[in-house]
Copies of this chain bind each other. A is one copy, B any other.
Amino acid sequence: MEWRELDLGNCSVAATLNLVGERWTLLILREVFAGLHRFDEIADHLGISRRVLSERLRQLVEADLLERRSYQEAGQRSRPEYHLTPRAHDVQWVLAALLQYGDTHLGDPAGAPVLLHHSGCGGHVRVELRCSCGHEVAGSEVKPDLGPGAVTLSS
């Protein structure tokens, strides 16, 4: 079977983009990763329209990437707050890849504005492509290929 016959309806990249590929979604998740959990905090920091933020949060909760919890500040009524679900943690790979690409190719000469640290040892975290042969590989050495779950267009 050839690539052009692959039915993209069951492609994992497309499926993931379906989840997090909307214009602001990944940036919202990154704000939550970084420790912002409240509507106004995120809206103000990101400069996103409240309408869109509201809709994206709803989608993310529905997709089970964020969950709503209640918090209550002294002398205030309880309000909702957004936290990552276990499923959301693996989106870190995508964010880290985007971060690393930007640092490498669009980099501010002043150095990286954001770093990723390992909460265990405090070290610096990088994304790597690693082959089952044990070597790290470059992007240009990787070729996509059809796997066992591939479905053709005609079937």
Contact = CB atoms under 8 A, between A and B. Distances in A.
A144 interface: yes
Copy tally for this chain in the complex stands at: 2
Nearest to A19: B106
B46 A114 contact: no
A37 to B, nearest CB: 11
A103 B93 CA distance: 13
A124 B133 CA distance: 8
A144 B4 contact: no
Interface centre among A16, A113, A130 (most CB of B within 10 A): A113
Interface residues of A, number: 89
A62 interface: no
Interface string A120-155: 110111111111110101111111111111110000
Going nearest first, the 10 A-B pairs with the smallest beta carbon separation are A12-B102, A92-B139, A111-B148, A89-B139, A111-B149, A123-B132, A118-B131, A93-B97, A110-B149, A16-B102
Interface of A: 3-4, 6, 8, 10-17, 19, 21-23, 26-27, 30, 33-36, 41, 44-47, 86-87, 89-108, 110-121, 123-133, 135, 137-151
